[in-house]
Amino acid sequence: MRRSWHGGRGPATSERSRVITFDAVTKRYPDGTVAVDSLSLEAPTGEITVLVGPSGCGKTTSLRMINRMIDASEGRILLDGKPVQGIDPPTLRRGIGYVIQQAGLFPHRKIVDNVATVPYLLGWDRKKARSRAMELLERVGLDPALAGRYPFQLSGGQQQRVGVARALAADPPVLLMDEPFSAVDPIVRTSLQEELLRLQSELRKTIVFVTHDIDEAIKLGDRVAVLRVGGRLAQVADPRTLLTEPADDFVREFLGHDRGIRRLQFVPTDGLRLRTDLTVEEGAERGAAEPWLLVVDGDGRPLGWASGARPGELERYGTFVHGRDSMRAALDAALLSPSGCAVAVDEGGRVVGVATRESLDQALAEAADV
Amino acid sequence: MSDGPPSIWEWIGRNWDTGRADSIRNLLTDHLTMSLVPIVLSLVLALPLGLACARWRWLYQPTSGLMNVIYALPSLPVFMLLISVTGLSQTTVIIPLTFYGMAVLIPAVVDGLRSVPDHVRQSAVAMGFTPLRRLLRVELPIAVPVVLAGLRVVAVSSISLVSVGALIGQGGLGGLFTRAYQNPFMPPVIVGIVLIVALALVADALIVLAQRLLTPWVRARKGMAS
């Protein structure tokens, strides 16, 4: 699937993806301010590495040292083992996608030409660059009819999608994203985040993502690097480890409340014990033994909970996709329903079983042991 | 009827093309030359100076200060000063008008470049534009609306100011006004005013047209706002 998209346009991304290494990198300004202090960090190939921290922690400075918008004072940054300091900045930058907070689209260029910017810089012919741009607009979920518009005619969320499409236009193996979703409203932000994860599951770029939002970091990061003010690395770990084993008080405080609940989003639901004897087809005879029974339609889709206490009425239910969604989603589904049970469905929305309080309790107890 | 003063149309007919230097046609040509040359010249000179002022910020204050001083100088003593160098020629009118134009256009170029949003400039850098290419493809195009707004002021004021040159015998259509001192006869004054205003309107319309063709994205933005 991934390969077919590249359609003979050179090697597939996975083979060209590159690892980024910070080797004791320091950025000191002439006035003595230290923005980044001896940072050593690796952003592995094909993964999303998130730099997160309060303002003044040097996360954006670190990002910009990768494509030499800022030069390091000490230490080296290696791209696939080669120091970036040895590469001519424009050449280096054309091979690295960059997404900025306000999208940074060129107001005087149509959307299609904005997306085709780097291909133009690389000397592709106009037709090829534009057809590539159209392909990408579709890929990031934009209506191709927007291609002929100017950036001001688009909403903030649409502009940000164009920004992502533009960063991907020349198929760079590395993508730098500087708080790309922080200027849009929460609903749009969530959809952009999901879009990014979907794209990444297909493209497997090496992404360095900067944010001040720890929830965003945990949602998007394969690895999360927490930086403290003064540009020192506090901890780098996968999100689950970060939530269970924060390295120190700073990280613990930065992670904020309800770490326990949030950690459940990394606990899978495959192991959850499901009961299949609690469903009944619509119109069928109802056994009296159970206080709650889940009524399903002929296709096996849930209709609602029937209570022995109030015959003829259907109550609210909550679902989670068994095996795909996390324990957090399962618990959420259970809390949404007066029955206290969560309905497990398959990807097609058909009921595969019911997770009762007992089975949820058991899974939570196991999760707490980890 | 034939003994009274001629009507304005008769006067135009008689003076349109007499073959003399002060025929309306020749005055119109002179007027065009003495206004168009400063308009074009001031734009050509203001672009590099404005770029330099935007690039090296310390340069901007002294440059705009100097330009304002020049702008404040009354034209008559400037003419007197220049006559000793360039004589009673069109050049004597063109030089101060060029400076006036620059006084408007240098700040326009600087403001235009400053109107480029920082995130746009940053993203151009991040995508691998070289500095020259960034200037030509991103910053200058975005500065165009502000520069052209300044150019409209320069065009209209130059066309109007040329007539002051009549004080040294080089006023283009302004020459039609000086005659009114000697002879209180209105048709030349009216013709002069109408032609000058018409020239200014045509020049302004041409610039607006150019603006629409060069910057369709500005119209798109206004359409969005309304």
Is the pLDDT at B55 greater than 50, yes or no? Answer: yes
For A107, which of B125, B133, B142 is closest by C-beta distance?
A: B142
Band (A287; pLDDT cuts 50, 70, 90): low
Q: Quickly state the pLDDT bin for B125 (edges 50, 70, 90).
A: very high
Chain A touched by B202 (CB under 8 Å): no
C-beta of residue B110 within 8 angstroms of C-beta of residue B50 = yes
- Give me the residue spans of the domains in chain B: 20-221
The pairing of strands A232-237 and A292-296 is unpaired
Tell me the nearest-neighbour CA distance from B41 into chain A, angstroms: 27
A350 has pLDDT over 50: yes
Q: Which one of B123, B215, B224 has the shortest CB-CB distance to A98?
A: B123
Residue A2, pLDDT score: 36
Positive or negative CA dihedral for A236, A239, A245, A248? positive
Interface test with A, best of B127, B130, B136 (most A CBs within 10 A): B127
B102 touches A: beta carbon within 8 Å: no
B-chain residue closest to A88, CA distance:
B128
B117 near A CB under 8 A: yes
Smallest Cα distance from B116 to chain A, Å: 9
Ordered by start, the domain boundaries in chain A are 2-95+172-266, 279-369
CB contacts of B117 in chain A (<8 Å) are 102, 104, 107
What's the rounded mean pLDDT across residues A86-113? 93
CB–CB of A108 and B141 under 8 A? yes
Q: Does A93 touch chain B (CB under 8 A)?
A: yes
More confident residue, B123 or B186: B123
- How far is it, in rounded angstroms, from Cα A334 to Cα A270? 16
Fold of A279-369: CBS-domain (3.10.580)
Distance in Å, alpha carbon of A225 to nearest chain B alpha carbon: 23
pLDDT higher than threshold 70 for residue A5: no
- Given A90, A92, A102, which is nearest B130 (Cβ)? A90
The pLDDT, as a whole number, for residue A3 is: 35
Mean per-residue pLDDT for A344-348?
Answer: 90
What pLDDT score was predicted for residue B18? 79
Q: What are phi and psi of B165, to 5 degrees?
A: -60, -15
Chain A's closest residue to B117, CA to CA, is A104
pLDDT of residue B225 exceeding 60, the answer is no
Interface contact A108-B142, CB threshold 8 A: yes
Give pLDDT tens digits for A148-181. 999 999 999 999 999 999 999 999 999 999 999 9
Q: Which residue of A has its CA nearest to B119?
A: A104
pLDDT for position A163? 94
pLDDT at A369 over 80: no
Binned at pLDDT 50, 70 and 90, residue B188 comes out as confident
Q: How far is A229 from chain B (nearest CA, A)?
A: 24
Is residue B212 over pLDDT 70? yes
Average pLDDT over residues B59-82: 88
Query: Is A41's pLDDT higher than 90?
Result: yes
Query: Which residue of chain B is at minimal alpha-carbon distance from A154?
Result: B224
Query: Average pLDDT in the B99-120 region?
Result: 94
CB contact under 8 A, B142 and A106: yes
Residue of A61, A84, A96, A108 to mutate, testing the B interface (most B Cβ within 10 Å of its Cβ)? A108
Q: Tell me the mean pLDDT in the region B63-86.
A: 87
Highest mean predicted confidence (pLDDT) among A98-102, A327-331, B64-68, B124-128: B124-128
pLDDT at B85: 87
Put simply, whether A148 touches B (Cβ < 8 Å) is: no
Which residues of chain A lie closer than 8 angstroms to B224, CB-CB? 152-153
For B160-170, what is the mean pLDDT? 85
- Touching check for B4 and chain A: CB below 8 Å? no
Does the beta carbon of A150 lie under 8 angstroms from any beta carbon of chain B? yes
Residue of A nearest to B145 (CA): A108
Q: Residue A100: which of B119, B141, B144 has the nearest Cβ?
A: B119
Q: Rounded CA gap, A364 and A217, in Å?
A: 24
**ipTM of model over 0.90:** no
Q: Which pLDDT belongs to residue A224? A: 96
Question: Is residue A121 within 8 Å of A166, Cβ to Cβ?
Answer: no
How many A/B residue pairs have CB atoms within 8 Å? 75
Q: Which of B191, B189, B174 is nearest to B13 (CA)?
A: B191
Contact assessment for residue A106 and residue A162, using Cβ atoms and an 8 Å cutoff = no
Residue B26 three-state SS:
helix
Asked if the model's pLDDT at residue A10 lies above 80, the reply is: no
Residues of chain A with pLDDT > 90, as a percent, come to: 64
Q: A90 contacts in B (CB within 8 Å)?
A: 128-130
Please check whether residue A92 touches B, CB under 8 A: yes
C-alpha to C-alpha distances, B67 to A137, B49, B58, B59, B97, nearest whole angstrom: 48, 11, 15, 12, 12
Answer for the pair B42, B102: CB distance below 8 angstroms, yes or no.
yes
Closest-CA distance, A277 to chain B, in angstroms, reads 58
pLDDT at site B45: 96
Superfamily (CATH H level) for B20-221:
MetI-like (1.10.3720.10)
Find, among A63, A99, A65, A62, the residue nearest to A177 by Cα: A99
**Stretch among A217-221, A229-233, A362-366, B158-162 having the lowest mean pLDDT:** A362-366
The tokens 């002294």 sit on which residue? B62
Q: Evaluate if residue A249 carries a pLDDT over 80.
A: yes
Inter-chain touch B123–A67, beta carbons under 8 Å: no
Helices (H), A12-109: 13-16, 59-66, 89-94
Distance between CA atoms of A50 and A209, rounded to whole angstroms?
5
Phi, psi dihedral angles at A341 (to 5 degrees): -110, 150
Q: What is the mean pLDDT of residues A73-86?
A: 93
Would you call B127 and A94 a contact, using CB atoms and an 8 Å cutoff?
A: yes
> Scanning every residue of chain B, which has its alpha carbon at the shortest distance from the alpha carbon of A63?
B126
What kind of fold does domain A2-95+172-266 have according to CATH?
Answer: Rossmann fold (3.40.50)
Beta strands in chain A (DSSP E): 20-28, 34-43, 48-52, 74-79, 82-83, 96-99, 174-178, 206-211, 223-228, 232-237, 279-281, 292-296, 302-307, 314-315, 319-321, 342-345, 351-355
Comparing A3-12, A40-49, B187-196, the range with the smallest average pLDDT is A3-12
Q: What is the mean pLDDT of chain A?
A: 88
Pick among A63, A92, A105, A106 to test the B interface (most B CBs inside 10 A): A106
For residue B217, give the nearest of A102, A107, A166 by CB distance.
Answer: A107
Please, are residues A317 and A355 in contact by the beta-carbon 8 Å criterion?
no
Asked whether A326 and A355 are in contact (CB, 8 A), the reply is no
Judge whether B128 is closer than 8 Å to chain A, CB to CB: yes
Q: Quick one: average pLDDT of B112-127?
A: 94
pLDDT given for residue A11 in this prediction: 40
Asked if A103's CB is within 8 angstroms of B119's CB, the reply is yes
